[in-house]
Amino acid sequence: MDRFTNPNDRTRNNHQLLPQVVQIKAGGAVNFIISGFHEPVIYGDGTQPGDINTNLVVPPPPVALIDDPANRMFRGIDPRPLSQDRVESVIFRKSGTYLVICGVQPHFVNDGMFGFVKVTGPDAD
């Protein structure tokens, strides 16, 4: 695919969160390298994909973004007016297992775009 000649073709993106499970130590960071039209949203320890209310959304255009605030600890910047490719970095200070989803509603609902960050070790100050 030649992204230079057609950089806004959102239908050609790969809708996966890779790797699906990441393990880091408390106080460490995860860099989300975002390629395409995606929004990382992180939910607190123990949250599961079925816990997310996908009917709570920031309305389109061009597409709805999930806006469930329950146990949400981070929401990436709104990808709609931005360049599709960017990096967002998140520090995890406490141990636990955190759910990461793509906040673009059809990516999470239809494509199962989610994963987990497992944070181990003593909590950072």
Return the domain boundaries, the chain.
Answer: 16-120
pLDDT tens track for 70-108: 999 999 988 888 767 889 999 999 999 999 999 999 999
pLDDT tens track for 38-49: 999 999 999 999
With bands split at pLDDT 50, 70 and 90, how would you rate the model's confidence at 36? confident
pLDDT of residue 1: 46
- Residue 54 neighbours by CB under 8 Å, 6+ apart: 66, 68, 105, 108, 109
Six-digit token string for 90:
């998140």
Residue 99, phi-psi category: left (phi > 0), alpha (psi -120 to 50), beta (remainder)? beta
Q: Please determine, for residue 11, whether its predicted confidence score (pLDDT) is greater than 70.
A: no
CATH code for the part of the protein at 16-120 = 2.60.40.420
Per-residue pLDDT averaged across 18-42, rounded? Answer: 92
Decide if 30 contacts 92 (C-beta within 8 A).
yes
**Which stretches within the chain are classed as H helix?**
105-109
> CA dist 87 to 5, 11, 18, 47, 52, Å?
22, 21, 14, 24, 24
